[in-house]
Amino acid sequence: MSKSVEQQATSLTEQLLNLTNTMGGEEKIARAIADTLMNDHRTIQQSYVRVMKMVTEIYAEEATTDGRNEAAKNYCQKVAESTETYYLPLI
């Protein structure tokens, strides 16, 4: 039986989180993700950015914080506020 979209997304996110848990690798990871994104179909690029916008909004609203992730939540809140009315259509 195939995995649901939610199961696939959870698995991929866990893999990405494990990958980002290496000191000094963040720029390389960001570059690889950006390059892969920019080389994909334009509609998929927009869908991916739309999903990341939604992730940012959910994180800004729901994440609990302490000193280790407070700046991340604050950043997401600022981004979510500044892009609140920005629409990314499915074309």
pLDDT of residue 91: 87
pLDDT of residue 87: 92
Which parts of the chain register pLDDT below 50? none
pLDDT of residue 24: 84
Q: For the chain, what is the radius of gyration of the CA atoms?
A: 15
pLDDT of residue 38: 98
Contact between residue 31 and residue 38 where contact means Cβ atoms under 8 Å apart:
no
pLDDT of residue 58: 98
pTM, to two decimals: 0.90
pLDDT of residue 23: 80
Classified as helix, coil or strand, 25 is coil
SS (H, E, C) 22-57: CCCCHHHHHHHHHHHHHCCCHHHHHHHHHHHHHHHH
